[in-house]
Amino acid sequence: MNTKILALIICFGAFSVQSISAQNDSGATVTTDNTQNQVSDNSSRGYTVGTGDEITVRVIGESNFDGIYTVDENGEIQLASVSDPIFVGCKTEKEIRGQMIKLYSKYLVNPQINVQFSKRTSRPPAVVYGAVVTPQQYDLRRPARLRELLSYSGGVLSEGASGKIQITHTISSSPNFCKDSNEIVAAQAVDPSKTLTASIRYSDLIAGVESANP
């Protein structure tokens, strides 16, 4: 994995702290749990599996078909009871459950199956920290701008005449199986050997200058 660190130097005057927003004008939502926020479209399919993720499969009443499987670099899992690997890349829990029901129907009558993503490691979160009210981790499921992430982080600390806001995002070097995913485009567009640093005036950010809102 290649870590991209975007250090943003913000110079600004008086600033009223923005509150954390649950929904913005574009319909994006932020769902808060104990450790991480989610930035996604309301129409999102939900989490889709990738390399390194762990899937737990339980077949009710047939424990010999149960298993915990790790998705390999080809987007596949190897079920103990099936000879050929099964492709699950870029699928949701619901989609994989349907796949498992179809597969196990060859061996069982009306199989009842539960599928859960027990470990999610294929998309490391972006982290916003430094001179912000509330440092946050974000599960980015679509492109997001600095202004949006700042609002979710409670805004910039009011006591800082100038402050350093850091955004760190680790992009996985493993294959991306979602052909329409924005992540693979971003990974191809950024030189993994570079650390990007920008000096931005806060007045430019609030004025809507494009380069001040990466």
Global pTM value:
0.57
Considering 119, 144, 166, which residue would you say is the last residue of a domain?
119
161 and 183 co-located in one domain = yes
According to the per-residue pLDDT averaged within each range, which of 14-23, 34-43, 194-203 is highest? 34-43
The neighbour count for residue 89, using CB atoms within 10 Å, is 21
**Structural contact between residues 63 and 56, judged by C-beta atoms closer than 8 angstroms:** no
23 and 128 co-located in one domain = yes
23 vs 183: CA distance, rounded Å:
22
95 and 112 co-located in one domain = yes
| Residues 138-188 pLDDT 10s | 776 666 777 777 778 777 766 544 556 666 766 655 566 775 444 433 433
106 and 86 co-located in one domain = yes
152 vs 146: CA distance, rounded Å:
10
Region of 173 (left: φ > 0; alpha: ψ -120 to 50; beta: rest) is alpha
What is the number of domains present in the chain?
2
- The HSE-up count of residue 36 (CA atoms within 13 Å, CB side) is 13
Please give the residue range of the domain that contains residue 18. Answer: 2-45+123-212
138 and 168 co-located in one domain = yes
Structure tokens at 209: 């200058």
135 and 171 co-located in one domain = yes
pLDDT for the residue 6: 44
37 and 110 co-located in one domain = no
160 and 100 co-located in one domain = no
30 and 63 co-located in one domain = no
155 and 60 co-located in one domain = no
| Residues 102-132 pLDDT 10s | 999 999 999 999 999 999 888 777 777 777 7
Q: What is the mean pLDDT of residues 6-11?
A: 40
86 and 25 co-located in one domain = no
Task: Find the CATH number of the domain harbouring 87.
Answer: 3.30.1950.10
128 and 208 co-located in one domain = yes
Mean pLDDT of the chain: 68
Considering 119, 141, 159, which residue would you say is the last residue of a domain?
119
Considering 92, 119, 146, which residue would you say is the last residue of a domain?
119
Cα-only R_g, the chain? 21
